[in-house]
A and B are shown apart, each in its own frame.
Chain A
């Protein structure tokens, strides 16, 4: 009689980095498709360009470090970084800025710290912040969503905008670009308008920025897929969105005329994308359950604080980077008690 003895772990799924990264990429597809539908081909051009540069940079650095480039590229982590970076930047971003940002993310933030698994900061967000601080003008001019665009851009127009830096013939730059909902809201609030007045503008949909709500929705669907596949756990996304909603709700409840509703905060900008795809980065987030709750809630609270009183239009990247640097400390303070050991000498 022969019996095959299978030793533990009895996992049904292959637990490999490349499979996890592949599923993250697949989960991003609906959101990226929604963005492409709204903002045109620029989104896809950015994704392609960023992926190309990320892989080339990864291979070059690994060669300099005297390591095999193949395994590191096949684990697809550079692609995830590239895609997250590409959907965070405006679809009109000049090509050389995309190249610079991805180089910074892969070479300095990821590989100089030792590569995948060793980087203390989320590479995509660090690359984004690097560009936002260095080139604030280019990084804050977005395209209007297609239902508001008077001049929707085709493939050729988008490519011209990105690679030559020229708007379509006969149009001034201002006719093509538009501020993001968060940016528009902040400017209007600074001018002393009330929320009711601001909401008159066609820029707004039911709750958030028109069109942007759908982007958030599809990223939410992708995030649910990640939860279902158990690639992430619920702790960070739920804690982060709760942190954001509680803060926003508190101020909205006190003064709804100068503070947009919690739903607006949730559905405009990158809150949902950040909660499911960026804050949950397994390398730079906390790994203890209690730590993840603290980590996520602090990011959510920081997002509200930076959006409301900070100087930049969106806050996901800053909040995530700030908590990345706090993650090791949180983790140390939230180590679970080992069974059988006391609290005092654990």
Chain B
């Protein structure tokens, strides 16, 4: 069992430094396939996050009972059970959104991000650590999905949170923004190639921001000769 990490670091890893979509490049299948609108991205992100938190918690609880030889099938069984629960829940309460996301909800089972966290983190850490890690990684993934969906939606059809009422009920209809009826979007943004192009641009943007932050910190360190945060200097 590994040493517990401070929650702040777990969140920083999940949201930025080790973001599963932008750094680890895990879970790309749903990431590329369903992020045609911000609403779809958000819905997929929430479903993935729910499964991730529940599976991380369960796997952390049973981590001392499962023999290492059979751990992967057990992980998959746990994850599949939770995906089934999430799927049935969505079918019951968000049927329209379920129809839009379709096949990709059951496919959360094969999302390597979830089994990746189970293997790399939850099976080696306490319950509270595993839950916070699941939450942080899930939120990080969800944010990328929503942001990517929003970008593609905006470039492709000139709207934002189109059909948000599918998920949040009638009250959310006001959330849908539109650039205007005259806007001619680039259809390619909504088609699969657009997903790759925009994800590439997002990763480039993240690397750019990281580089800038690192340079600023080094400059400041040189000026005040203060010790550099090792995590930043290494990153």
Main secondary structure of the interface of A (DSSP, over half): helix
Check: A187 CB closer than 8 A to any chain B CB: no
Q: Which residue of A lies closest to B190 (CB)?
A: A134
Q: Which of B102-110, B158-166, B171-179, B181-189 contacts A (4 or more CB under 8 A)?
A: B181-189
Minimum C-beta distance from B180 to chain A (A): 15
What chain A residues lie within 8 Å of B193 (beta carbons)? 133
A134 and B187 contact, CB distance less than 8 A: yes
Check: B191 CB closer than 8 A to any chain A CB: yes
Number of A-B contacts (CB under 8 A): 17
Check: B29 CB closer than 8 A to any chain A CB: no
Main secondary structure of the interface of B (DSSP, over half): helix
Check: A130 CB closer than 8 A to any chain B CB: yes
B197 and A133 contact, CB distance less than 8 A: no
Minimum C-beta distance from B122 to chain A (A): 38
Q: Which residue of B lies closest to A94 (CB)?
A: B184
Minimum C-beta distance from A131 to chain B (A): 8
A residues contacting the other copy or chain, number (CB 8 A): 7
A133 and B191 contact, CB distance less than 8 A: yes
What chain B residues lie within 8 Å of A100 (beta carbons)? 186
Q: How far is the CA of A134 from the CA of B191 in the complex (A)?
A: 9
Minimum C-beta distance from B155 to chain A (A): 9
What chain B residues lie within 8 Å of A134 (beta carbons)? 185-189
Most buried by B among A100, A135, A136: A135
Q: How far is the CA of A41 from the CA of B207 in the complex (A)?
A: 45
Interface residue ranges of B60-76 to A (CB < 8 Å): none
Interface residue ranges of B175-218 to A (CB < 8 Å): 184-189, 191, 193, 197
Q: How far is the CA of A305 from the CA of B25 in the complex (A)?
A: 35
Minimum C-beta distance from A143 to chain B (A): 21
Q: How far is the CA of A127 from the CA of B65 in the complex (A)?
A: 57
A135 and B186 contact, CB distance less than 8 A: yes
What chain B residues lie within 8 Å of A133 (beta carbons)? 187-188, 191, 193
Interface residue ranges of A87-123 to B (CB < 8 Å): 100, 108
Q: How far is the CA of A130 from the CA of B197 in the complex (A)?
A: 11
Q: Which residue of B lies closest to A138 (CB)?
A: B184
Minimum C-beta distance from A61 to chain B (A): 13
What chain A residues lie within 8 Å of B186 (beta carbons)? 100, 130, 134-135
Q: How far is the CA of A134 from the CA of B184 in the complex (A)?
A: 9
Q: Which residue of A lies closest to B155 (CB)?
A: A134
Q: How far is the CA of A134 from the CA of B189 in the complex (A)?
A: 8
Q: How far is the CA of A130 from the CA of B185 in the complex (A)?
A: 12
What chain A residues lie within 8 Å of B187 (beta carbons)? 133-136
Q: Which residue of A lies closest to B193 (CB)?
A: A133
Further pairs besides A100-B186, A134-B189: 12, Cβ < 8 Å: A108-B197, A130-B186, A133-B187, A133-B191, A133-B193, A134-B185, A134-B186, A134-B187, A134-B188, A135-B184, A135-B187, A136-B187
17 cross-chain CB contacts under 8 A: A100-B186, A108-B197, A130-B186, A130-B188, A133-B187, A133-B188, A133-B191, A133-B193, A134-B185, A134-B186, A134-B187, A134-B188, A134-B189, A135-B184, A135-B186, A135-B187, A136-B187
Interface residues of B (CB under 8 A from A): 184-189, 191, 193, 197
Query: What 9 pairs across the A-B complex have the smallest Cβ distances?
Result: A134-B186, A134-B188, A134-B187, A133-B188, A130-B188, A133-B187, A133-B191, A135-B184, A108-B197
Interface residues of A (CB under 8 A from B): 100, 108, 130, 133-136
